[in-house]
Structure 1
C-alpha cells in the first residue's frame, strides 16, 4: 500500500512536471472541428434552422458564418434568432466572414461597426476578411501595401471592439511582385498585434506554394485554417478530406508552429450531391486521423 507521504510526493512531482511542460498538456487536448457554412450554401439560406440542426447533429461544435446582411441578418434570420438556433444545437460562431469590399473601395469603416456589434452578440472571437474582388486586388506591390494599411485600420477597430481581425486568402494573393508576392506583403506590412491570418490550405497549395514553408517563415501568424482537400484528377475541384492529394497529416503536425488555434472544414467546389453527408465524411476523417 502506498503511504500518504509517498502519495503526496508523487502527486507533487507529477504536478511539477505539468508545470514545466505545459505544452504537453495543451497538445493532448482535442481541438474542436469547425465548419465554414459556405459548405452548405445551397441549403442553408432556404432552411437556416434545419441545416444548423444537421450541423450540430453531425458533431461540429463551431461554425464560421457567411452571408450576413445589415438589413436581413443571416438569410432573413435576425442575429438574435440565429444565435438562439446555434445555442440550441450546441454550436458557436467563433469566426465570421463579412464583406469588406465596399470599405476597401471607399475607405469608410461605418459598416464595420455593425459587424463588430453582430460578432459580439454571437460571442465570436474573429471577424474575417474573406475575399477581395478583382477590381480592388493589388496590381503592384505598392497596392498591397496600401491594402495592408487599410487592414491594419480595420484590425485596430476590431481590437477596440473586443474582437480579432483575420485575413483569408485565395490564390490571387500569391501573384509575384519581383522577389515577393501579395500574400507576403500582407504578412510583412500588417501589424501582428492587430491582424491574424486564416490560411486556406487548399488555395496555398493550389497556387504552387507550401504551407509548411510559410509556417517556418512566419511562425505564429496563422491562427485559423480552412481545411479542404484537392481532387486527385482535377486540381480545380475539392475532394472530401482524406480522399484527395493534400498531405494533411504533415500539415497538422506543424499546427503549433503555425499558431493555429482553430480550423474550419470547407467544401467549396465539386462536393457530393448531399453536402451535409459529404461534410460528415470529412469530419470523420479529421476526427480519426488529424486531431
Structure 2
C-alpha cells in the first residue's frame, strides 16, 4: 500500500506538472474564492519606510484586507538584530517591524483603513525567550499566528536536526497556545528533497502536533524545491492555514538542495506577479481553500515595481473563481 509519506516522496522526485499552466487567460468572474486578499509586507518594505500610514491607505484603496508583518521588532533578541543588520543594508532597507510606530499606533492605522493583521514573522529565539513581549504586542495588533520564515542553517544539517527542530516547534507551539497564539512555520526551498532516506519537510509535518504547529506554504519556494503544492495540500489537509503567493516566469528548480542564499538569490529574477507566470495558482489556491487554508498573502519579495505588483496581483487574486 502506498502511504501518504510514500506519495509525497514519489511526487517530490517527479517533474512538477499538476501545478503548471498555460499562459494566463483572463475570464470574466463574478465570485471570489479569496474573500480577504492579503499582502506580506516584505513585498513592499521601501514603500513602508517612505510612508507607513500612506502605504496602508494605498493597500486598502486597492482592495487588500490583511497584512503580514516581518521583523525584527523592538523586542527582537539582539543576536537576531545583529544578523539582520548587514542583510538589510545589502538590500537597501533601514526599517522593519513597526516602522518606528508602537503596536498601538500600528493597530490604529490598520483600523483606520479597514485592515487586519492575522500573522507576523519573527525568529525562534525571540519566541523562546521573549514570548511575553510577543504576546503583548500581538494582542494589541490582533495577531493569531506568529512564526518563522526559515530554519537557521546550523539547525538543519542532518535528519536528526530536523527531528530536534520539530520537537522545538511543538514546545514553542505549546507555550504560544497558552498565551493565545499559534506557531506557524513558513517553508523555504530546502527540506523538500530526500535526506538520509526521508524528506525533512514531511518529517516536520508528521512529527509536529497539528493543534500546536500550522504551516504557511510559499508556492514559489515549494516548487523551486521540486515539490508540488497541490500534492502536499491534499496529503496533509488542515495543516496549511496560510499561503504566500507569487508566480514564476518559467519553471525553475534549485541546482542543489535549496539550503542557502547562494541558491535562493539567482531565483529572485524568476519571480512574477500573481497570475503572470506559469504556476497554476487557480488550482493551487482552490485546493488550499478546500483543505483548510484561511489567509492568502501576496508576497513577492522586494517587488521591483511595487505599484504594478500590488494592483495586478490583487486583480488576479480577487477574481479566482470559487471551488466547486
TM-score class normalised by the smaller sequence: 0.7 to 0.9
Q: Does residue 1:265 correspond to 2:284, yes or no? A: no
Instruction: Write the distance in 2 (CA, Å) between the matches of 1:157 and 1:210.
Output: 32
Partner of 1:124: 143
Instruction: Write the distance in 2 (CA, Å) between the matches of 1:231 and 1:118.
Output: 38
Contact kept in structure 2, 1:248 and 1:290, CA below 8 Å: no
- Count of aligned residue pairs for this structure pair: 257
Secondary structure in 2 aligned to 1:143?
A: helix
Instruction: Write the distance in 1 (CA, Å) between the matches of 2:214 and 2:189.
Output: 18
Contact kept in structure 2, 1:34 and 1:264, CA below 8 Å: yes
Q: Does residue 1:45 correspond to 2:45, yes or no? A: no
TM alignment of 1:136-155, pairs within 5 A? 136=155, 138-155=156-173
Match for 1:192 among 193, 210, 233?
Answer: 210
Match for 2:38 among 34, 37, 47?
Answer: 34
Instruction: Write the distance in 1 (CA, Å) between the matches of 2:32 and 2:320.
Output: 14
Contact kept in structure 2, 1:68 and 1:75, CA below 8 Å: no
Partner of 2:24: none
Secondary structure in 1 aligned to 2:275?
A: coil
Instruction: Write the distance in 2 (CA, Å) between the matches of 1:255 and 1:233.
Output: 21
Secondary structure in 2 aligned to 1:223?
A: strand
Instruction: Write the distance in 1 (CA, Å) between the matches of 2:312 and 2:47.
Output: 18
Change (3 A) 1:173 1:46: farther
Partner of 1:86: 110
Shift of 1:208: 1.0
Point out where structure 1 has 5 or more consecutive residues left out of the alignment: 1-26
Contact kept in structure 2, 1:174 and 1:181, CA below 8 Å: yes
Secondary structure in 2 aligned to 1:289?
A: coil
Partner of 2:285: 252
Q: TM-score, normalised by structure 2?
A: 0.74
Post-superposition Cα deviations, 1:155-185, rounded to whole Å, max 9, x if no partner, equal 1111111121111010012242133222111
Partner of 1:214: 232
Choose between structure 1 and 2 for higher RCO, CA contacts under 8 A separated by at least 6 residues.
Answer: 2
Point out where structure 2 has 5 or more consecutive residues left out of the alignment: 1-30, 76-95, 254-266
Post-superposition Cα deviations, 1:139-161, rounded to whole Å, max 9, x if no partner, equal 11110010011111111111111
Q: Does residue 1:289 correspond to 2:320, yes or no? A: yes
Contact kept in structure 1, 2:35 and 2:318, CA below 8 Å: no
Change (3 A) 1:29 1:200: closer
Give the number of the structure whose alpha-carbon radius of gyration is greater: 1
Instruction: Write the distance in 2 (CA, Å) between the matches of 1:245 and 1:190.
Output: 32
